[in-house]
Chains A and B, each alone.
Chain A
Amino acid sequence: MSVKKITKGDFEKFVDALIKAEKTIGVQAKGDRFDFAPLESAKDLRLDYDVTLQPPKKFFLPPSEALLTYEVGGSYQSQCDPEPFILLGVHPYDMIAINQMDELFQQDNYDAHYMARRHGATIIACDVARASDNVFASSMGTAVVKEGYDILLTDIGDSYVAEAATPKGEQLLAKAKGAEADAKALKKRDEVWARNRKSLNKHELKCDVAYLPKLLDKAYKHPVWEERAKTCFSCGSCNQVCPTCYCFNVQDDVSWDLKTGTRCRAWDGCLLDGFTKVAPAHEFRKGRADRFRHRLYRKAKYVPEKIGGQIACVGCGRCVGACLPDIANPVSVYNRLIDDLGIG
């Protein structure tokens, strides 16, 4: 597969050509923050961003989507015919989150709704140019990414190194003006990778990330869950901004004529009160501390058991910023457990 060096000027032209050809979603400024949104001009693209407000999961698992349509009292039809799109500027930690979601939505029972969107997407990832306030990807081993994207971009100053990783990426990259990346450009890229492996670490985990499941094996009854959850609003913000949270609810909406409707799925959150409620009124995970613990166990124990040990916290740091009472930071909880319980 090709590795090209593309000047920033030529890259802008390349992006404008992409926008003309296909629906292109890229990172843009939103006030003094950043977010993914449909691009109208390459000038709006901000690959120098630190972190986006929302992870890109919404393009594969929308906050609300129609799974089926139905006639009241009649039969059901599957709904999924997503428009293909290019997703431009996905950071390595978010790419790793998407790779994990791909595995989760394919395993056991194949989710055609998620996968149709995923297959319709062309992902152009980009290495982090600027660390966000709360990123800890270096601690989680997610500061650089080696798979899942179609093209990977790395900012090396006046140019980008662009490497195609799939036939789709190769085809797209062929349209960009640029020579094959030389040894000097590749060296600069290696330097970016080496830098990011260390510097995306505003919160430093005190153990190897692979140790987390073992740490949690002995932490189930630790007081930290109650202590932190005392000020938890059960608002679910940590779930909402998390690139690896994928729990959902399903409900029927009826149209105005009362004859047809859609069965929709919408994001849900395990921190929300009522998440485990069954009829008539029993709630299985009623305590705030139990729900708080469940989220952190999902990230570092339960989900990893489903995806070959990969830790399902990718260190984006969004939950740290989104949590009003400032209790969501996974590193702070895990470090507290290490302090009390030790390693090994």
Chain B
Amino acid sequence: MCECCTEKKDIYLPQMATVADISQMNVTEKYLRLAMDDGQFDFIPGQFVEVSIAGFGEAPITISSSPTQTDGLELVVRKVGRVSGAIHNLKRGNKLGIRGPLGNGVYPVEECKGRNLVFICGGLGLVPQRSFINYVLDNRSDYGDVAILQGAKNFDFRLFTPEIEAWTKRGDVQMLETLDEGDARWKGNIGVVTKLVSKVETDLKSAKILVCGPPIMYKFVLMALADHNVPQENIFLNLERKMKCGVGKCGHCQINHAYVCMSGPVFRYSDLASLPEAI
């Protein structure tokens, strides 16, 4: 018998999960709720899983649900390739493999306690951020002001619209939404998400800022935050890469010396000085 069947765990062996719910969210995204076949699944907001569809492969997906809300986990997957295409074809009750939770760089859940928080999300960036947003809202008294800035490409690409509506109505969250391209259905802000930064009511300089979005967004958001003199120590960026193995071996997610799967995916901006490839 070999080692992975006896003494040591095989780090590449997925655990089985069942699709408890799956639905189309908008034109490209599907929502999935998964139940692990062997029971509980503990994770910290910011962690990701390798989703495995036998015959198609694996893809790293950051968990969208908060550990405070479901027994299993929720994912949002955009259909862009082989594995995500196969995920989109899943039906309720289907099986899939999960490795994880992975990632040691998570949202600073403890450090943010007592502080004002600003979430800046671009497009699918809302998906990982939602894990920490709901965590904060479920422990509302532990945190200060909460502002959520969400930018989407157009009306059809909006995500979690019922949830955004609920956040807006709570009264203890400043919810700001914008679309790159507006149309007749949209009465709100038009333009990129950075335009919303100056509308934040809380003091940006003392707030913790959590950023996730497409690669192009980071530079502009960081420039906007620099204009407001936000210290780099207070900014956290979710730097998703191609975490192929997820366990610090395969090299695909490496940014200079750091493996995103090991040190991230959430990084403190001031720690990125030695990682010029990060942004």
Contact = CB atoms under 8 A, between A and B. Distances in A.
Interface of A: 67-68, 70-78, 80-82, 104-105, 108-113, 115-116, 119, 220, 246-252, 254, 258, 261, 263, 265, 268, 270, 275-280, 282, 284-285, 290, 294, 297, 301-302, 305
Name the prevailing secondary structure of the B interface residues. Answer: loop
Contacts of B5: 78, 80-81
Contacts, number: 142
Q: Which one of A72, A249, A285 has the greatest number of beta carbons of chain B within 10 Å?
A: A249
Given A112-B11, A116-B4, A270-B251, A73 B94 contact: yes
Interface of B: 1-5, 8-14, 16, 52, 54-58, 78, 80-81, 84, 94-95, 97, 214-215, 240-242, 244-245, 247-257, 262, 276-277
Nearest to A117: B2
Contact of A249 (B10, B13, B250, B277): B250
Contact of B241 (A113, A251, A284): A284
A249 B78 CA distance: 22
B215 A282 contact: yes
Given A263-B58, A280-B81, 15 more contacts: A67-B12, A72-B55, A78-B4, A78-B10, A80-B10, A109-B247, A112-B9, A112-B11, A246-B251, A247-B252, A249-B252, A250-B245, A280-B80, A284-B255, A305-B257
Given A78-B13, A108-B262, A278-B242, A252 B251 contact: no
A204 B42 CA distance: 53
A248 B277 CA distance: 20
B11 A247 contact: no
Name the prevailing secondary structure of the A interface residues. Answer: mixed
A173 B13 CA distance: 39
Contacts of A268: 250-252
Contacts of B244: 249-250
A112 B8 contact: yes
A254 B11 contact: no
